[in-house]
């Protein structure tokens, strides 16, 4: 009998480094390639990487240590959103029944919304089982809390009945909840059905006008500095979007595939017919919840993975109000005019630099610090793409490859092509574009939220007697933030230009009470 060979655990560090910063599901396998654990993640790279940190094993309980000792490999499946990750996690746990999973082992089903339009007074009710009974079903829904908030919104907005059975009860007829647009007691069954139809369209994600209206209300609240109301509207919109967003039903043959950056790059080059492999890509996104702070982000992917050292963020300076097209033009102009300037400064003795095509000149002098991307991506459709193209043409960068990616239907817009391109949902090229677009969106939103938090903190000074807008700016310029101002002494504040001893004492006393 041959001796048993003890295998060394494989080094998975490189594989972890190649994981995307995207939501998805991961499967842990043992030395016999059996699935022993299935988990979901908002960020696959961070979540999976935690399993292989030395400190994790030291602080883990016995069960987790046993799992960590048993992991020899893993695989990941990316999805579009966290709710999809939750649904896929449940699907895979039911399929593989991993020994270290507890959740979903009881075959508990996700919530559905059922409405039987054949009833005289159709009601929207929750259920976990879909039957072939002629009723209409919506779902499944991963987040029960968001779903219940959505049903509450539908009750108030459309005046439809939720829960219960049969005709409206006397209490429901009197309730103020169902008085939109007219009293339920004065509504016929036929008129009520019209409410149900509109509510069904909304739950199916077919009511874009209503989302636009709610977003406008949120922006108006933010513009009026009613940040609490704006935050409530934002949370409501998040719940409604989670509920009405189309969800994929995962089957064994429709599971998303793991990421292969090299293959995705080649697929993207083929799909867009690019002159060379898009090893360096730059993607732009605009974030504007209110006119107070309109910001933009530029993220860079190198060889199909994020190159965070080359991320950039911008505050829009030349655009009044909310104008995505003009904002996109500004940020593209600022980004590539700077690259051209840096190239000139790096090679001041090259007389012919200004005479030839700027892109060709930069290609000749290309360094790791001064280089044009192989592909530019703007988040948006025809309008954003046209604005970006005009700026590139003014800079002489006519041949720089550029596309627009419209999020709603994942359509790809190209210059001089009136019709958009749509790639298959499981295409590696599309997945790569989605990764960089989503990263640009995340980076822009995080910057916007940072500025909003600063603005909320700074607004405290608006209520301080004697501190005008000009004096407030003087204080913030010197100390940087309200928090630093809180830590300053009366003497330090009084030393600020335009701020005397008496006002400094008032400021210190005021901040001490807030």
Count of beta carbons in the 10 Å neighbourhood of residue 302? 16
pLDDT tens digits along 445-462: 777 666 655 555 555 676
What confidence score (pLDDT) does residue 394 get? 93
pLDDT tens digits along 44-79: 999 999 898 887 777 777 788 888 888 999 999 888
Residue 106 clears pLDDT 50, i.e. is over it: no
Q: How far apart are CA 221 and CA 455, in angstroms?
A: 14
Domain 261-452 in CATH 3.30.420.340? The answer is yes
Residue 148 clears pLDDT 60, i.e. is over it: yes
- Secondary structure of 472-505 as H, E, C letters: HHHHHHHHCCHHHHHHCCHHHHHCCCCCCHHHHH
- Residue 149 CA, distance from chain mean position: 21
Query: Topology of 464-512 in CATH?
Result: DNA polymerase; domain 1 (1.10.150)
For the chain, give the mean pLDDT.
79
Q: How far apart are CA 196 and CA 186, in angstroms?
A: 16
Count of beta carbons in the 10 Å neighbourhood of residue 425? 12
Q: How far apart are CA 507 and CA 200, in angstroms?
A: 55
123-127/161-162 β-pairing: parallel
> Could you identify the residue written with the tokens 């933010």?
222
Residue 321 clears pLDDT 80, i.e. is over it: no
Per domain, the residue ranges of the chain are: 13-96, 111-244, 261-452, 464-512
Q: How far apart are CA 75 and CA 413, in angstroms?
A: 33
How far is the first Cα of the chain from the last one, in angstroms, to the nearest whole number?
79
Q: Cβ(82)–Cβ(23) under 8 Å?
A: yes
Contacts of 240 by beta carbon, 8 Å cutoff, 6+ apart? 146, 149, 150, 153, 211, 214
Residue 483 clears pLDDT 80, i.e. is over it: no
Q: How far apart are CA 237 and CA 231, in angstroms?
A: 10
Q: Which residue has the higher pLDDT, 404 or 502?
A: 404
Residue 108 clears pLDDT 80, i.e. is over it: no
Phi and psi for 425 in degrees, rounded to 5?
-60, -30
Q: What are the C-alpha distances in Å from 328 to residues 285, 298, 309, 409?
A: 8, 11, 22, 20
Q: Cβ(447)–Cβ(297) under 8 Å?
A: yes
Q: Which residue has the higher pLDDT, 349 or 298?
A: 298
What confidence score (pLDDT) does residue 111 get? 81
Nearest to 211 by CA among 168, 240, 248, 182: 240
What confidence score (pLDDT) does residue 455 get? 56
CATH class given for the domain over 13-96: alpha beta
């Amino acid at each position: 009998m041959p001796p048993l060979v003890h295998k060394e655990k494989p080094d998975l560090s490189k594989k972890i480094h190649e994981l995307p910063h995207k939501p998805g599901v991961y499967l842990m396998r043992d030395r016999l390639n059996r699935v022993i654990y299935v988990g979901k993640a908002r960020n696959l790279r961070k979540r999976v990487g935690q399993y292989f940190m030395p400190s994790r094993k030291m602080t883990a309980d016995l069960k987790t240590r046993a799992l960590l000792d048993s992991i020899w490999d893993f695989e990941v499946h990316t999805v579009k959103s966290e709710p999809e990750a939750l649904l896929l996690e449940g699907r895979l746990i039911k399929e593989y029944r991993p020994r270290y999973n507890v959740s979903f082992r009881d075959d508990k089903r996700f919530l559905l919304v059922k409405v039987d339009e054949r009833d005289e007074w159709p009601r929207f009710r929750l259920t976990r089982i879909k039957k072939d009974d002629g009723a209409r079903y919506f779902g499944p829904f991963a987040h029960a809390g968001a779903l219940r908030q959505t049903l509450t919104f539908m009750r108030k907005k459309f005046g439809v009945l939720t829960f219960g059975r049969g005709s409206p009860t006397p209490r429901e007829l009197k309730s103020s909840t169902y008085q939109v647009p007219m009293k339920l007691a004065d509504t016929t069954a036929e008129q009520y059905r019209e409410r149900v139809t509109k509510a069904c369209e909304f739950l199916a994600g077919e009511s874009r006008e209503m989302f636009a209206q709610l977003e406008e209300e949120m922006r108006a609240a933010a513009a009026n500095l009613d940040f609490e109301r704006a935050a409530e509207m934002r949370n409501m919109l998040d719940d409604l979007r989670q509920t009405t967003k189309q969800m994929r039903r995962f089957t064994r043959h429709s599971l998303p595939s793991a990421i292969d950056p090299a293959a995705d790059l080649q697929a993207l080059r083929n799909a867009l017919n690019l002159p060379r492999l898009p090893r360096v890509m730059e993607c732009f996104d605009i974030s504007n919840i209110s006119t107070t702070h309109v910001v933009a982000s530029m993220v860079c992917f190198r060889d199909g993975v994020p190159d965070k050292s080359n991320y950039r963020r911008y505050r829009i300076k030349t655009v009044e109000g909310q104008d995505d097209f003009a904002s996109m033009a500004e940020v593209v102009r600022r980004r590539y005019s700077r690259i051209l300037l840096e190239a000139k400064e790096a090679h001041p003795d090259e007389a012919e630099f200004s005479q030839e095509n700027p892109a060709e000149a930069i290609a000749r002098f290309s360094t790791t610090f001064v280089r044009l991307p192989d592909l530019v991506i703007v988040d948006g459709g025809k309008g954003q793409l046209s604005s970006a193209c005009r700026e590139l043409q003014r800079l002489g960068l006519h041949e720089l490859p550029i596309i627009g990616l419209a999020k709603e239907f994942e359509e790809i817009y190209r210059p001089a092509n009136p019709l958009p391109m749509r790639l298959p949902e499981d295409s590696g090229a599309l997945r790569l574009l989605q990764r960089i677009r989503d990263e640009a969106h995340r980076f822009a939103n995080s910057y916007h939220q940072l500025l909003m938090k600063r603005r909320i903190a700074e607004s405290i000074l608006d209520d301080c007697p004697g501190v005008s807008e000009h004096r407030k700016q003087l204080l913030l310029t010197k100390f940087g933030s309200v928090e630093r101002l809180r830590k300053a002494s009366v003497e330090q504040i009084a030393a600020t230009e335009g701020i005397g001893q008496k006002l400094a004492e008032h400021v210190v006393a005021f901040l001490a009470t807030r």
